[in-house]
Amino acid sequence: MRKFSTMADLINIKNLNISTTIGSDAWGRHQPQTCLISLKLGTDFQKSSTTDDLNYSLNYATICRDVRNLIKKKLDWVNLCTLTNSITSTLCNTYPGIKDLKITVQALNTHLRTNDISYEKDIKISSPKDMIPKQYDLLHIRNLELFTLIGVFTFERLQKQKISLNIILPWLTTNREDVPYASIINNVVKYVENSNFKTVEALVESVSKLISQEQYYQNILDLNLPILVEVIKHSAIMDTDGVGVSCTRTLKELNAKQYITLNAIDQIKSTDSSFDLPVENDSMKTLIPNTWNTAYLAFGSNIGDKLQYIESAITILSNDPKIKITQTSSLFESEPMYFKDQDPFMNGCIQIKTKYLPQELLSICKEIEYDELKRVKHFDNGPRCIDLDIILYLNSSNEHITINEPNLVIPHPRMLERSFVLEPLCELISPDHIHPITAEPIWNHLDQLYANENDEDSLWKVIPLPNMNSQPRFLKFKSINKINKMTNQPYRETVSPTYLMGILNVTPDSFSDGGEHFSTTTIKEINFVKEMCVQVFQLHESIIIDIGGCSTRPGSIQATLEEELKRTIPVIKAIRSCNELPQEKIILSIDTYRAEVARQSIEAGVDIVNDISGGLFDDGMFKVIAANPRVSYVLSHIRGDISNMNKMNKYTNTTTDNEGGMNLIEYINGKECDIPEAQFMKVIGRELSQRYKLAIANGIRRWQIILDPGIGFAKDSNQNLQIIRDIPILKNYSCSEDGDKETVFANFKNIPILLGPSRKKFIGKITKDEDPVARDFATGSIVASCVGFGTNIVRVHDIKDCSKTIKLADTLYRKI
């Protein structure tokens, strides 16, 4: 707090050990206590050092003896203040060579909570009769050990943790009264151990205020005297002795703060299992009646048809006039976290707009759980058909609302320890979204959580497919957390097998196999599918068959709607009705940009709609997909149309959306990014994000979407190769509109990527193969690269050889 103004020469005496009575000891007895006396004596011993003669310096042996003799003359020094002043006066009057003096007298047995209470006195001496004391001296209370509830994480709220306080108090040199340190310590202990703080900052501020209320300081007229309080949390950060903060406040500053009444402290039991977190009491006042607020709800189910329960809950919510569903997350499969002996859970999050206040929204959620969907709760954390929890709640100005009530805590107390909550939540919020209690980006908490988890604990991302024989089906993808050794940044690495999508063109004019699988009886198509299955199931558990009835090669004449339906629907029905095919292993996809073809194909039995236009060619496509939330949708990138797309491959780096809207903030892996090599894929991501947001606005669930950056569609040869190289960028791309938090946050995290490089012209340009079929061998190399760069689904013509390529690439890159 103050610097000791010393001369160039010092005589140091450290911890002179004496025993004397200085008032009551730790047990309230007037017994001798151990004291340690340390002295810094400013003097001038240049002559002594030159002559090597002790007569010209201060003899520390003599000084120590004089101090001992002084203390022995008195049986009871009453307090540390009296002892310290007496030693100071004696030394200054006895030794004229002392020009500066700093004395510290430490008591080791004065209080049970600490063995380090000391007075520190600091004076400058012009002559033996002219001692100039500082305005105030110091009382140190060090290593005051306490146990209290402090912190924002769940584990910190359920058990008191050890902290240490260091306190430095002013002691007026004109005041002979001892600072009442015993009373101060007792009040601080009572207050801290029965209080409840989120932050160490609030704790030190409150302790400072409590100390300033002591009568000793209330009687002091000089309000500029400072009080310092430091707190150390010993178990907060591993590999440290402790972390904490300190603050210095004047009596004037502290007097302006609200009075602390010890009798009003809420008693907290260490065995209390509730999450008793202090919150801002005024946050609820910012809620304006009948306005649209934002809430994030987590959902989970592990009984029966899990997705059906989830869909039902979302439907009931969306039918409420005071609720709007604005976003849904992906779906994740997670192992039970607390009670292990139960089925895996299906989890996710939804973002809603609501006019309900938090407690009203909680009532709606519980009504859906127990009244509408008949949830039966056998015990905490047990099996459940549906669980709806409020994770976050923001007012109409996007300010967080914090609540701590017996039946509702917002933000949710356990969200930061649950990857199955944080992962889907981070799909819906921007990387700079701050947790209202920890004051840290929520994305950071997810990275920290994954850094401490085992790979086997990672979530499975699941994409639902229509039920077959009343049994749910899914595409499943898994990633694990890794650290980039070059940047030391976390990233997600795909470790699940790559899905193979085989092409079945039932058109007379496809660019590589036109007419080869086209017939009017479907016999040729069925035989080809049987052959595909034989080739694939030797190495893979399933196959996606992509059926196309309209060629989309650049410049091709487009089949009419009637022609496309005539070519595709009979084939779909024939495949689904063929008893010789292992239906449970066959995933059917329709390659179309027409909404009516998609609708009839879904009725006929397809699981995926593969739309090369991303909904751009037919306004009705998104409505068809939204009406079938168990059907997956491949959202592809394209520019222009079939006739002119090859002329639209000029990509410029602009941060404005295609419709001339707001500027975008773009992220890669949650970090704003201006890497030059990433610019091309950022443009692709930016344009895909516009289609993505429109799809979401039309009711398509995020869990339905697969992304295809569109190899060969409005891209030249080099750009097609760049797409393959930049798949990691696209998989980690996200953007939000600057200044507008109401819009959907476009985030491609966890969305599977599909690539269709097979037999494309850019391959032949490199290998000099004019015939598309002759490009099959080279296609295998490209397919392996696609897998290596993180592609999840690869669309190919040559099923037999590419299935082997994918198996080898999975074994090499994903260790499968």
Domain residue limits, the chain: 1-134, 283-462, 499-813
Q: Which 3 state secondary structure label does DSSP give 306?
A: helix
Residue 90 amino acid letter: T
Which whole number is the average pLDDT over 365-390?
83
Q: Distance (Å, rounded) from C-alpha 466 to C-alpha 587? A: 10
Superfamily in which the 499-813 domain is placed by CATH: Dihydropteroate synthase-like (3.20.20.20)
- The pLDDT tens digits of the residues spanning 61-84 come to 999 999 999 999 888 888 888 899
Q: State residue 515's pLDDT score.
A: 58
- The pLDDT tens digits of the residues spanning 652-667 come to 765 444 444 457 788 8
Asked whether 673 and 679 are in contact (CB, 8 A), the reply is no
pLDDT tier at 361 (50, 70, 90 boundaries)?
very high
In the numeric block, the tokens 């030249």 are attached to: 716
Beta-bridged to residue 148, according to DSSP, are 161
Asked whether 48 and 56 are in contact (CB, 8 A), the reply is yes
For the chain, give the percent of residues with pLDDT over 90: 55
Q: Does domain 1-134 have CATH number 3.40.50.1000?
A: no
Q: State residue 656's pLDDT score.
A: 44
Q: Which 3 state secondary structure label does DSSP give 215?
A: helix
Query: pTM of the prediction?
Result: 0.78
Please enumerate in sequence order all residues whose Cβ is within 8 A of that of 370, keeping only pairs 6 or more positions apart, or say none: none
Q: Distance (Å, rounded) from C-alpha 582 to C-alpha 578? A: 9
Q: Distance (Å, rounded) from C-alpha 416 to C-alpha 447? A: 11
Beta-bridged to residue 479, according to DSSP, are 494
Distance, first Cα to last Cα, the chain: 63
**Which of 339-353, 410-424, 707-721 tops mean pLDDT?**
707-721
Q: Distance (Å, rounded) from C-alpha 529 to C-alpha 91? A: 104
- The pLDDT tens digits of the residues spanning 767-791 come to 999 999 999 999 999 999 999 999 9
Which whole number is the average pLDDT over 236-251?
84
Superfamily in which the 283-462 domain is placed by CATH: 7,8-Dihydro-6-hydroxymethylpterin-pyrophosphokinase HPPK (3.30.70.560)
Among left, alpha and beta (phi > 0; psi -120 to 50; other), residue 245 is: beta
Please enumerate in sequence order all residues whose Cβ is within 8 A of that of 379, keeping only pairs 6 or more positions apart, or say none: 339
E strand map for 510-643 = 543-548, 586-591, 608-611, 632-636
Asked whether 332 and 320 are in contact (CB, 8 A), the reply is no
pLDDT tier at 487 (50, 70, 90 boundaries)?
low
Sign of the torsion angle spanned by Cα atoms 518, 522, 523, 526: positive
- The pLDDT tens digits of the residues spanning 395-426 come to 998 899 989 888 998 999 888 888 899 999 99
Instruction: Please check whether the two domains, 1-134 and 499-813, share a CATH topology.
Output: no
Indicate the angle between helix axes 717-725 and 776-788, nearest 10 degrees: 40
